[in-house]
Amino acid sequence: MENGQAGPVPVTSPRLSPHAIPGLEYGWLSRLRSYFFFVPLIWLYTVVMGLAALPGGVFDPTGRRLHWFSTTWSRLIMKTIFSPVAVSGLDKIDTSKPHVYAVNHASALDIPVLYVNLPFQFRIAFKKELLSYPIVGWQLKRSGQVCIDQQNPSHSVSSIRAALKGLKAGLPLVIFPEGGRTPDGEIKPFLQGAFFLAIKAQVDIVPVALIGTYELLPMNTYHIKSRPLEMRVGEPISTEGLKARDLAALSARVQKAVEDLYYKPS
C-alpha cells in the first residue's frame, strides 16, 4: 500500500480438480450429449433392468442372479458413456477370500465402475436415503445390500448382522468410509465405524482408489464428462487380533492407504 491506496488485488485461478486432464475441455456439445443421450439411456437401463430383476429376486437366495443384473446394468452404462477404466493392483489380491474393500466416493458412477471391474459377487454398504429412490431402492433391498441408517444406527442391526454373516461365509463387502460423496474431489475423513465389520469378521481391508470419477460426474449435475478412469487397488491391511478399541488407528491407516493411491501421479 502506497499513499493510503491499496495495491492491485491478486487474481486467484480456480483450483483444478485433483485429476483434471490438462487441455481437455467440455463445451455445449458435451452438455447436449449428456442431457439428451447419456442421461436418458442410463434411466432407461435402470428402469428396464430394475423391473426385469425384481421377479428374479424372489427365487434368488444366493443373490447371484441379482448381481448379474447389477453388473449388466453397469456394463451398459460404462459402454454408453465412453469412459474406459484402467485397473491396477487387483491381480495381487486373492479375490477368492472375503475382503472388505474400502473405496473413496466421488460420484454416482462409482458403483457402475465397481460392478464392472470387481470380478466377483459382493455386497455394498449404502445409506438408508437411497431406499426412497424408485426401482434403485427396490433393487438395493431385494439384492441383500447392507443398509446403514446413519441417523439411527440401531435400526441397522439386522442389516449389519447379515453383512457379518456374509463376510464369514465368504462374501466380500464394499464400503465407502467417507459416508457420502465428496463435494470437491478431495478425500474426506473416514468414519471409524465403517471398519467395525472388518474387525468383527477378522478379514483384511483392501484400499481402493477410483481416479477421475469426480471429474466424470460430480455432485449436483447431470453433465457427464467422458474421460479415461482408473481403479487403483492397494495392499490388503490385516485386522487380525484387532478389537473395537483399535478402530481409530485402523481407520487412519486405511485412509492413508487410499489417499496414497488417489493422489499418486498417473
Does 125 or 126 have the greater pLDDT score?
125
Cα dihedral 172→187→23→225 (10° resolution): 50
Residue 16 lies in a domain: no
Instruction: Decide if pLDDT at 52 tops 80.
Output: yes
Instruction: Decide if pLDDT at 81 tops 90.
Output: yes
The predicted structure's pLDDT at residue 53: 83
Residue 10 lies in a domain: no
Residue 247 lies in a domain: yes
Residue 92 lies in a domain: yes
The predicted structure's pLDDT at residue 173: 94
Does 137 or 39 have the greater pLDDT score?
39
Residue 199 lies in a domain: yes
Share of the chain above pLDDT 90, in %: 65
The predicted structure's pLDDT at residue 193: 86
Residue 20 lies in a domain: no
What's the whole-number average pLDDT of the chain? 87
Residue 19 lies in a domain: no
Q: 83: domain CATH number?
A: 3.40.1130.10
Q: Domain of 99?
A: 28-263
Distance CA 58, CA 142 (A): 8
128-140 in b/e burial notation, b at 16+ Cβ within 10 A?
beeeeeebbbbbb
| Domain count along the chain | 1
Instruction: Decide if pLDDT at 176 tops 90.
Output: yes
Strand partners, 126: 147
The predicted structure's pLDDT at residue 37: 98
Residue 18 lies in a domain: no
